[in-house]
Amino acid sequence: MADLKDYIRTIPDFPVPGIQFRDVTTLFAHRDGFRLMLDQLVEAIGDLEIDCIAGIEARGFVLGGALADRLGTGFVPIRKKGKLPGKTIEESYQLEYGEAVVELHEDALSKGERVVLIDDLLATGGTAAAGLRLIDRLGATTVACVFVIDLPDLGGRKLLEELGQSVRCLVAYEGE
């Protein structure tokens, strides 16, 4: 049986020298790969009762929208600063290669809603941790953080687990 890694391309030195960029566009582009990924994401989340999926810009939107349709939930976007039209709350964070700010509409989630946070890749965990803070500030509960790719060497899984999160990833690149 095909492995998700068969569909993921690695591009060395992008966007800066020294980064091995794990490119999921080749996975998204392949009809068998995309379906296999969604099947595995549904399985990873299947045991949870959830109201909503929150996806992180940009690749988390592709995953999150398709997954929300499969699971019959709503979808909420966590976006880079300056993109959302309504009133927002914001959190800043450090990246593997930079710094950024993410925002969430202040009325995007209600108190007590059960949310799954999703993105394509977990590296340092800075982006996901900022997303968790946004969800938490609206009084909603993140019941799991779900990623296609984990880069455990960068410590993101450990960070999110220390924050009490259930972390679910489909593939990992370790020491590679």
Ligand X SMILES: Nc1ncnc2[nH]cnc12
Ligand Y SMILES: O=P(O)(O)OC[C@H]1O[C@H](OP(=O)(O)OP(=O)(O)O)[C@H](O)[C@@H]1O
Residues 6+ apart with CB under 8 A from 18: none
Rank residues 33 and 125 by Cβ distance to ligand Y and give the closer one. Answer: 125
- The residue within the footprint of ligand X, chosen from 4, 5, 21, 80 (CB under 6 A), is 21
Active site residue 59: yes
Alpha helix ranges (H) inside 57-171: 59-71, 126-137, 156-162
Q: Candidates 3-11, 68-76, 106-114, 118-126 — which segment interacts with ligand Y by CB under 6 A?
A: 118-126
Contact of residue 55 among ligand Y, ligand X, none (CB under 5-8 Å per partner type): none
- The residue within the footprint of ligand Y, chosen from 73, 88, 127, 165 (CB under 6 A), is 127
Of 22, 31, 57, 59, which residue is the catalytic one?
Answer: 59
Spatial contact of 91 and 148, defined as CB atoms under 8 Å apart: no
Residues 6+ apart with CB under 8 A from 169: 122, 146, 147, 148, 149, 150, 157
Q: What are phi and psi of 167, to 5 degrees?
A: -110, 125
Q: Please, which of residues 73-102 interact with ligand Y by CB under 6 A? A: 95-96
Of 90, 96, 106, 114, which residue is the catalytic one?
Answer: 96
Candidates 34, 33, 80; CA nearest to 55 is: 80
Q: Does 133 bind ligand Y (CB under 6 A)?
A: no
Q: Under the rule (CB under 6 A), what is the footprint of ligand X?
A: 19-22, 96, 121, 123, 151
Active-site residue set:
59, 96
